[in-house]
Amino acid sequence: MLYSGCILRNYDPSWLRISIMSRHTLNDGVTPDIRLEGMFAEHWPQLGPPSTLIGQYLRKEISWYNFDRGYSSYLATQAQAEVDQLMDKIASEDVIVLCIEAEELDVAKLKCHRRLLLEHIRRLTPDLVGPVR
pLDDT digits (tens, 9 = 90+) for 7-22: 999 888 899 999 999 9
Q: In 40-64, which positions are buried (b, 16+ CB within 10 angstroms) versus exposed (e)?
A: beebbeebbbeeebbebbeeeebee
- Which pTM value belongs to this model? 0.89
Instruction: Report pLDDT for 111.
Output: 85
Q: Counting every residue, how long is the chain?
A: 133
pLDDT confidence bin for 106, thresholds 50/70/90: low
User: Does the structure show a pLDDT above 80 at 98?
Assistant: yes
Taking only the tens place, the pLDDT of each residue in 17-52 is: 999 999 999 888 789 999 999 999 999 999 999 999
Instruction: Report pLDDT for 14.
Output: 93
Instruction: Report pLDDT for 126.
Output: 82
